[in-house]
Amino acid sequence: MNKTLRQAIIAGNWKMNKNRAEAKELIEAMKPLVADANCGVVICVPFTNLETAMELTEGTNIKVGAENVHFEKSGAFTGEISADMLTEMGVEYVVIGHSERRQYFGETDHTVNLRTKAAVEAGLKPIVCVGEMLEDRENGITAELVAMQVKLALKDITKEQLKNIVIAYEPVWAIGTGKTATADQAAEVCGLIRETVASIYDKEAADAMTIQYGGSMNPKNAAELLGKEDIDGGLIGGASLKAPDFAAIVEAATKG
């Protein structure tokens, strides 16, 4: 395995936070702090902030993502947003299958796969989230469960399409809890995800894939996590809402 074969990406997932004025303030504060990053920098923002984010990041190294996408092209799906609607705005990334969507909004491995396919077909870059619940870890099924989530998410995705997909390993018990997986725990599962990708495609595809860790990543623990061979960046919740904290994680990735 060789880290130089793939790009590290630090992505903020703002979740349901920030009104338009707050989004503007955060992005303006972030811009100069991350301008020298040599990793990818992405902010995934609520739909209502996409336009603001696109405008304010134009000409910068910050890319913009959405937090979900529907799998149908158009039609009677009240409240949903299609992949074409996002690409038309210039949005580049989209978070798919976040555990909050799986837990609270009926997202399944099947719908994660449908969304992932629709997103890549429209030219979006999905950040596909996988991860176990605490109970799964305690029952010793983390490896099987995460491998299954990866296999089902990538069903019918071609090797060419895979180049535009990022996987984020987010252990559910570490999200928003302040409990980070240890760097070794995170690296072990990220390594397993890479092996799973290699088993579906091949080693070349797996080595080229960006695999992030997410779950209470912050300026204090980022360097250790990002220093691990199989961890190519982070999907950051709480710490992405504060420009200095997000920038410190970007800085750690730039060094890692």
Binding residue positions for substrate: 13-15, 176, 216, 237-238
At residue 224, the 3 state secondary structure works out as: helix
What does the alpha-carbon distance between residue 197 and residue 199 come to, in Å, rounded to a whole number? 5
Binding residues for ligand 13P restricted to 5-24, rule: CB under 6 A: 13
Binding residues for ligand 13P restricted to 97-136, rule: CB under 6 A: 98
Binding-site member from 238, 245, 247, 250 for ligand 13P (CB under 6 A): 238
Q: If binding is defined by CB under 6 A, does position 40 make contact with ligand 13P?
A: no
**HEC string of 14-77?**
CCCCCCHHHHHHHHHHHHHHHCCCCCEEEEECCHHHHHHHHHHHCCCCEEEEECCCECCCCCCC
Q: How far is the CB of 215 from ligand 13P (least distance, A)?
A: 5
Q: How far is the CB of 199 from ligand 13P (least distance, A)?
A: 26
Structure letter (DSSP) for residue 181: P
Q: Considering only the stretches 142-150, 158-166, 201-209, 232-240, report the one whose residues sit in contact with ligand 13P under the rule CB under 6 A.
A: 232-240
Q: Which of 109, 19, 12, 122 is nearest to 69 (CA)?
A: 122
| Catalytic residue ranges | 98, 170
Q: If binding is defined by CB under 6 A, does position 236 make contact with ligand 13P?
A: yes
**HEC string of 125-151?**
EEEEEECCCHHHHHCCCHHHHHHHHHH
Binding residues for ligand 13P restricted to 74-103, rule: CB under 6 A: 98
Query: Token pair for residue 200?
Result: 């579906």
Q: If binding is defined by CB under 6 A, does position 46 make contact with ligand 13P?
A: no
**Distance, C-alpha 205 to centroid of its chain:** 18
Q: Write each residue from 184 to 223 as x if it is in contact with ligand 13P (CB under 6 A), else as -, in one continuous string.
A: ------------------------------xxxx------
Which residues contact ligand 13P (rule: CB under 6 A)?
A: 13, 98, 170, 175-176, 214-217, 235-239
